[in-house]
Structure 1
Amino acid sequence: MPISTLDALDYEIVRELQEDGRRAFREVARNLSVPEATVRTRVKRLQDQGILQILAFTNPSKLGQAKLALFFIEVTPQDHDRLVDTLGRWPEVSYLSTTLGSADVCAQVLCRDDETLWDLQQKVRSLPGVRDVRMMQEVKVHKIRFTIPPVQTDE
């Protein structure tokens, strides 16, 4: 279901959960003046369609020596999908996207220390079709939030 087919109530439910993913459906329903069963049904539908995922984020700066980094990867076109599939299964990869620009794929990784980060970078370099890997270590994350875009109105 493309995002454009979500109705206003779907958007409002998602916004409520973006403020607090642990918010009870009863509270969401009360805030939106709809039955709790409606919220529960819609959240399940959004989850089943892959539109909504409720999860916990950790703060990497609070994890001791943990290292957070971005890998910008150039890969041959014929190996792109295989690379994405491979990286998507690695537990160290927390974010993975296809990009336009100087890299084909961006992967955010979280490792326990510098040595593990180095080893992971070398592992990525050795994958089939990888032409280059540039790494940028993240020192401090100031904001991480994926919010639903505002509803377009025809006014």
Structure 2
Amino acid sequence: MEYEIDDLDRQIIKLLSKDGRRPFADIANRLEVTEKTIRSRYRNLIEKDILNVVGVINPIAVGLKTGAIILIKSPPIKITSVIDKLKEIKKIRYITLVSGDYPILVQIAVPDHEKIVAVLEEIALIPDVTEYNAILQLEVHKNTFEYI
């Protein structure tokens, strides 16, 4: 049976998405429930694989000042093998299938434009990549992990 999150779960997730290290006591006070309730809900969200709490870096702070979104074409029957090869490229941080002429979308964050070129060269060497289109990110105006 699929677990359905309720309003309390949503509020816990929302608070943790802003600060994953927020103390359970603080969350409990804010939501007017017991700390035991928060601990139990948290454990359940983790066990059901609904919530992952991880450290997220600020890419600019660690020198990754340049980003790009790269759209990739491949024959439909080869998409899975192309994605497997893309997963091996360390600089690629996000891979998804999308609709349209370019069914694979990847995102990278790198120190400079030269590194974008290097990633594009790696992508071009993947068998069955027939075409790609790189879109440079000029400014990021919103980057959030709040989904609820």
Contact 2:67 / 2:110 at 8 angstroms: preserved in 1? yes
For structure 1, the 5+ residue unaligned runs are 150-155
Contact 1:66 / 1:110 at 8 angstroms: preserved in 2? yes
Q: CA offset at residue 104 of structure 1? A: 0.8
Q: Report Cα offsets for 1:56-98 as digits up to 9, x if no partner.
A: 4434444447421111112222222233333334331222221
TM, length-normalised to structure 2: 0.81
Does the C-alpha gap of structure 1 residues 98 and 50 become closer, same or farther in structure 2, counting only changes over 3 Å?
A: farther
Q: Distance in 2 between matches of 1:73 and 1:23?
A: 39
Q: How does 1:1-155 map to 2 (within 5 A)?
A: 5-64=4-63, 66-149=65-148
Q: CA offset at residue 128 of structure 1? A: 2.6
* Letter of the structure 2 residue corresponding to residue 10 of structure 1: D
Question: Could you say which residue in structure 2 is the equivalent of 1:152?
Answer: none
RMSD of equivalent CA atoms: 2.5
Q: Report Cα offsets for 1:128-152 as digits up to 9, x if no partner.
A: 3212111111122110114334xxx
Contact 1:95 / 1:107 at 8 angstroms: preserved in 2? yes
Q: CA offset at residue 42 of structure 1? A: 2.6
Does the C-alpha gap of structure 1 residues 45 and 130 become closer, same or farther in structure 2, counting only changes over 3 Å?
A: farther
Q: CA offset at residue 48 of structure 1? A: 3.6
Q: Report Cα offsets for 1:1-37 as digits up to 9, x if no partner.
A: 868x212221111111122222112211221222323
Q: Distance in 1 between matches of 2:2 and 2:98?
A: 20
* Letter of the structure 2 residue corresponding to residue 13 of structure 1: I
Q: Distance in 1 between matches of 2:99 and 2:17?
A: 28
Does the C-alpha gap of structure 1 residues 41 and 121 become closer, same or farther in structure 2, counting only changes over 3 Å?
A: farther
Contact 1:11 / 1:148 at 8 angstroms: preserved in 2? no
TM, length-normalised to structure 1: 0.78
* Letter of the structure 2 residue corresponding to residue 30 of structure 1: N
Number of residue-to-residue matches in the alignment: 148
* Letter of the structure 1 residue corresponding to residue 122 of structure 2: K
